[in-house]
Structure 1
Amino acid sequence: MLVHICCSVDSHFFLQRLKEDFPDEKLTGFFYDPNIHPYSEYRLRLLDVQRSCKKLGVALVEGEYDYERWLAAVKGYELEPEKGARCEICFDRRFEVSAKMARKLGEKRMTTTLLVSPKKSWEQLLKTGRRFAKEYGVEFVPVDYRSGGGTQMQQQISKKERLYRQDYCGCLFGLVQQREQQGKPADELFSPLCGSVLPGSIEERLRMYEKRLELEEEGRGYRIVRQKFLNYRLKLGWVRQKKETLPSYILPYSTMKRRYTKGRVEEQSEGIGWFNREEIRLITLERYNEIAQSAYESVSELLYAPMPSETDLKVRESVGLGLWDLSPLIVLERIPEGNLEIFIESEIYPDVREKLVVL
């Protein structure tokens, strides 16, 4: 039986039940989720599914991440709510590809772990699964593992197995709608060109779960704990003088009340300049290098290969900006004389991140 897999939280419990109910059936997992965005989230979910299937002794096949085709398929349905028309198109795509894979592998039956998700429409899944299974000559197996306390048991197993519990379905459009309802930024979509790992980001979680696998292979104990913290995302920022944009690096937790201001440096000392607006401080690249123990030759180099965020926080503290200080701190090649224009659009918000504690 080919089992289409969407995520480990659904698949682990689902596969366990399938093994119990179909003891003579050889199960093959098929991870096919072109709707998941961004790609780092796709990699994270695949990583956890691989771990889960290995534990259960189930072979796993990875499908193509054809995200562009998925986008084309749901064009015009971007604003549909979850369980609406966009989800139906998404199911069509995943079921059709899964049915093709089942036939290619010589499987006579197919099913999907989507059936166990309480956030998915059972009727939609049943209708779509049967249609494409019939079209490609395989049997669709519509098992119901939600009822009879199944959902509660699934949650317990997920906790026990320490599976990655994502907090959105995976779809870009569903994510944006969900974050708007929560009044939070969709920070999953923030991905700096420099490739740096932002606090609380998917990339940070991916690194943590990769490290978790290493610990398990070494037989070392660990805990995954959740931590509340104040997160920060820089959306846009620049410094200009006489209409010319100066290379600038804006450190984390730099915020401005009105986003834009115009003024000049009132005084400077030892590579630090005090601006006369918005409590802004400017720091030379030379002073930054001294504090961060780095060797950047230009601000542009710093922009495209920055230090870890922890280092930037230490730099802030070293120039007198303490733990709760949200004053902007900006790195420039030198402290300029004359008028400057500064624009910073950023967001600070309560968030939760996962941390790996090695025992």
Structure 2
Amino acid sequence: MEKILVHICCGVDSVYALRKLKEDYPNSQLIGYFYDPNIHPQEEFELRWIETKRVCDQLGIECIKGDYELDKWMEAVKGYENEPERGERCTICHDLRLEKSAQIAKDLGCSKITTVLMMSPKKDFDVLKEVGEKVANKYGLEFLAVDFRKNGGTQIMNKLSKEAQLYHQNYCGCIYGLFSQRKDLDFYPELVSFGKGRLAGSREELLFVKQIRLFAESLGLNCFEEEFNFIGWRLLSSSVKLNNDYIPHRVLPYSTSINGILRASVLDVKENSLILNKNNAEIYLTTDLNEPVLKEPRYITKPVFLIKEEVKVGDKLELQLKTEFNPSMKSQNLYVGNRNTFVDIAVFYSDTDSEGNQGYTLQDICYFIKNNKEKIEKGELLVVVYGSHLIGEIGKRFSTLHTQVFSEA
């Protein structure tokens, strides 16, 4: 049987393109090859791989995960950092990816190669065709220049990707393209990690959910994602000085920033709180400096600090705090099983604190799903992974489930 190697960049671009190729070449074996050394950061690379794997699994197509060779890509495009989208840097990028794809195709005994990059309206079809044909000829292969966008292909792709609930990236993946696209921002959220964990609404949280879904679907279980928006909050920096010495502290989520340095004196100590000579901030005493977990959503407030030091009347404090709010942050709930016929619910959540604590591991949830596969299949059990749980059980509050029978797993 003739074999065709298909270079794949992401799930969205492949969801229709692979169907089209199966239709046009029914007697050929398609082999997917995910190779994207240009993607940055690596969490973004993994997200696109997982969605590619999901699409290929649904279509019964073998897919090979290429190495993440960012250094190789950076070296190849050196000197072309400021090229615009569809410029010379993109041509070099296409050449690098299709060259490696052709090598793999040759090793696997394929006679033809193509790429789903031809699906993307952000890519130049003629440039891709030229690069593809040049590389294919070098390895004695035929390049299939398929215009997947023709005859409503783009609309079909959007419809299929929505139905499959695929992650839809908002930038090409290239770090230099991202710089150009986000040039008016103070920093690039896609490139920043705010801790070691999976914070509410973060890419790490989304990747975690997608990994669970891929595992559950590999067992043949039905999955459904429910996306929701909320006001996000991030701690950028903070410090507390007591009598000129820095002390350990925590900041309560949804605290607002302090302009400059707030200097205050302690007028009184009442139970678990300090009375300051300024009301610009609040300070509470605690015996536990673990990261605060909110049981209820919190509205934006003045800065709130938690400390565990011994404080006396007359002590001097210096407070600094910088935070960021995002009014359109997204998270998601994941349902594994039948949402209409379940008898019982096992509840997990996808986020952790910034240190990676107070949450579940991927192994925890996947192990539970595997051990309860039969119950889930029969509709006896629904597994729910709520998003953005630690900042006020946000996911549960946005859930469309009407039956409130919750049992913690």
Q: TM-score, normalised by structure 1?
A: 0.83
Q: Does 1:38 align with 2:13?
A: no
Residues of 2 paired with 1:91 and 1:176: CA distance? 19
Structure scoring higher RCO (CA < 8 A, sep ≥ 6) equals: 1
Alpha-carbon distance, 1:214 to partner = 4.9
Aligned equivalent of 1:326: 301
Unaligned runs of 5+ in 1: 290-298
Task: Give the Å deviation of 1:222.
Answer: 4.8
2:250 corresponds to which residue? 249
Structure 1 runs of 4+ aligned residues shifted over 4 Å read: 217-222, 274-278
- Aligned match of 1:188 in 178, 190, 196? 190
Q: Counterparts of 2:47 and 2:56 in 1: how far apart (Å)? A: 14
| Change over 3 Å in CA distance of 1:134–1:222 after alignment to 2 | closer
The corresponding residue for 2:70 is 67
Cα pair 1:187 1:233 within 8 Å, conserved: no
CA–CA distance in structure 2, aligned partners of residues 58 and 219 of structure 1: 16
What is residue 227 of structure 1 aligned with on the other side? Answer: 228
Which residue does the alignment assign to 1:150?
153
Is residue 178 of structure 2 the alignment partner of residue 175 of structure 1? yes
The Cα RMSD (Å) is 2.5
Alignment of 1:104-183 (within 5 A): 104-180=107-183
Structure 2 residue aligned with 1:49: 52
Shift of the 357–2 alpha-carbon distance from structure 1 to 2, 3 Å rule, reads closer
Question: More helix per residue: 1 or 2?
Answer: 1
Matches within 5 A, 1:82-97: 82-97=85-100
CA distance in 2, matches of 1:83, 1:133: 21
Residue 320 of structure 2 is aligned to residue 343 of structure 1: yes
Question: Could you tell me whether the CA contact under 8 Å between 1:212 and 1:356 is conserved in 2?
Answer: no
2:293 to 307, 312, 318: 312
User: What's the offset of the Cα at 1:73?
Assistant: 2.8
Identity %: 38
Name the CA distance, whole Å, in 2 between partners of 1:175 and 1:276: 46
1:240-294 CA deviation, whole Å, 9 max, x = no partner?
34554322222322222414322233333233224444632223341xx3xxxxx
Aligned residue identity for 2:237: L
Shift of 1:345: 1.8
| Inter-partner Cα distance in structure 2 for 1:77 and 1:343 | 40
**Alpha-carbon distance change, 136 to 356 in structure 1, aligned in 2, over 3 angstroms:** same
Is 1:208 the counterpart of 2:209 in the alignment?
yes
Conserved? CA contact 2:244–2:317, under 8 Å: no
Which ranges of structure 2 fall in alignment gaps of 5 or more residues? 340-409
Aligned length: 331
Q: Secondary structure at the match of 2:92?
A: helix
Contact 2:256 2:300 in 1 (8 A): no
Q: Decide whether aligned partners of structure 1 residues 34 and 273 sit closer, same or farther in structure 2, where only a CA change above 3 A counts.
A: farther
Deviation per CA, 1:75-129, whole angstroms, max 9, x where unpaired?
A: 3433433223332232222122112212222222111110101111212222222
Question: Is the alpha carbon distance of 1:25 and 1:218 closer, same or farther for their aligned partners in structure 2, counting shifts above 3 Å?
Answer: closer
The answer to whether the 8 Å contact 1:256/1:278 transfers is no
1:6 aligns with 2:6: no
Confirm or deny: 8 A CA contact 2:194 2:236 kept in the other structure.
no
Any conservation in 1 of the 2:285–2:307 contact (CA below 8 Å)?
Answer: yes
Measure, in 2, the Cα distance between the counterparts of 1:241 and 1:273.
13
